[in-house]
Amino acid sequence: MKVTIVGTGYVGLVTGACLAEIGNDVFCLDVDPRKIEILNNGGVPIHEPGLQEMLKRTRAAGRIQFSTDVKAAVEHGEIQFIAVGTPPDEDGSADLQYVLAAARNIGRYSNGFKVIVDKSTVPVGTALQVRRVVEEELKARGLEGSDKHGFSVVSNPEFLKEGAAVDDFMRPDRIVIGLDDDRAGDIAREKMKRLYAPFNRNHERTLYMDVRSAEFTKYAANAMLATRISFMNDLSNLADTVGADIESVRRGIGSDPRIGYHFLYAGCGYGGSCFPKDVQALAQTARENGHTLRVLEAVEAVNHDQKEVLVNKIVKRMGEDLRGRTFAVWGLAFKPNTDDMREASSRRIIEALLQRGASVRAYDPVAREEAERVLALDLADRPDDMKRLHFMKTQQDALTGADALVIVTEWKEFKSPDFGHLKSELKTPVIFDGRNLYEPESMSELGIDYYAIGRPHVELDRNGSRS
């Protein structure tokens, strides 16, 4: 099938590559010429395991192309995926300007029946707005009501985890498709069924529903996962107070099959492109409709405060005034296997350390370039602080001369370091672990002063032995 993807960001690029991989003829459009140049030169503007190899195969096979030519993109695809950004507005609602601009272009250049698929995460009612915009453009061309230039707007939300997006797309646990109950909707259903047929050969994974329910489903899914994270983070702070071990608690409740283990890890808060934005947008949708999602607003509040928990532990151990102190920071991306710095906990933690006068030696195996760009913007009005932020090439380089180690992202390479080397490099053997990578008892036996999230702290004497 001929498919157009509008937007070559995280969702659009993965969607386009995977659809091309299974044999479709895919045209990827972006208004950013820099991105298109990178892609046409064989590069990839985002880090996602398996994506570069897939793009190399599909480019070589001639099944995927990249361009800034809007007219050619619209004319190419019988199915038009809108996969552009929906950044949060000041009130937390999703900014739909890019979605509606894409819709306007489809109406402006449509050359036949189009299935217009909202792949971007959009609030309930967006499909209706897209429909109106397309109708306006067709009317301006004198084509309103034309069977040849008919269209259907479909909601097909993505459920991709950054760092595992290719596998998630190729082996989906569900495919949600929202359709109108009319003749155009029937045509769209047949086309979408044909497009996704390769993913349903073993068993049917597609869930058909009305458009508004499909739009709602995406927000509801992310809100539930964010709730589980904030729930455990809230409990971890109580565990710190009462002397419980949140890791034991996690195993105790996760073994209940009604609960399970997924997204039940305590840490220093969630980030990324989805959870923060989608929680805020769903809460704002509720307010606009006269409702208050009290649980969801608490989820957001807990996550905001959780990003300060590790800083509070550092201040309690080393004092409010951190001038003359140097901290090694391992992990900058909001999660492993991505270079995404959006709402990353590292940004808040590093800013707080610098604000108190500390120096930071930061390392991330993938996100260094993006972190340098983002933190330069964060600290644009604080040049003195920026001078004390250094990005290192290796995790060992980050340790050299540091007073303590702060772990923010749970990259695999951080899980089994050489603790003897770590102790010898640090001025004081102290670890502040925002992802609970190590066992407190093991750390104390090694003479490391270890502070985790919701886990017991074992006091050491001046000689580095257990008190």
335 annotated among ligand-binding-site residues: yes
37 annotated among ligand-binding-site residues: no
30 annotated among ligand-binding-site residues: yes
Q: What are residue 420's phi and psi, to 5 degrees?
A: -65, -45
277 annotated among ligand-binding-site residues: yes
86 annotated among ligand-binding-site residues: yes
144 annotated among ligand-binding-site residues: no
Residues 159, 336: Cα–Cα separation, whole Å: 18
171 annotated among ligand-binding-site residues: no
CB 44 within 8 A of CB 55: yes
292 annotated among ligand-binding-site residues: no
Is position 18 annotated as part of the catalytic site? no
Catalytic residue, candidates 18, 28, 268, 274: 274
423 annotated among ligand-binding-site residues: no
415 annotated among ligand-binding-site residues: no
100 annotated among ligand-binding-site residues: no
379 annotated among ligand-binding-site residues: no
265 annotated among ligand-binding-site residues: yes
71 annotated among ligand-binding-site residues: no
159 annotated among ligand-binding-site residues: yes
Strand partners, 374: none
297 annotated among ligand-binding-site residues: no
35 annotated among ligand-binding-site residues: yes
363 annotated among ligand-binding-site residues: no
| First-to-final CA distance of the chain | 69
| Residues tagged active-site | 274
State the binding site. 30, 35, 86, 121, 159-162, 218, 263-267, 271, 277, 335, 342
Q: Name the binding residues for substrate.
A: 159-162, 218, 263-267, 271, 335
Cite the annotated binding site for NAD(+) by residue number: 30, 35, 86, 121, 162, 277, 342
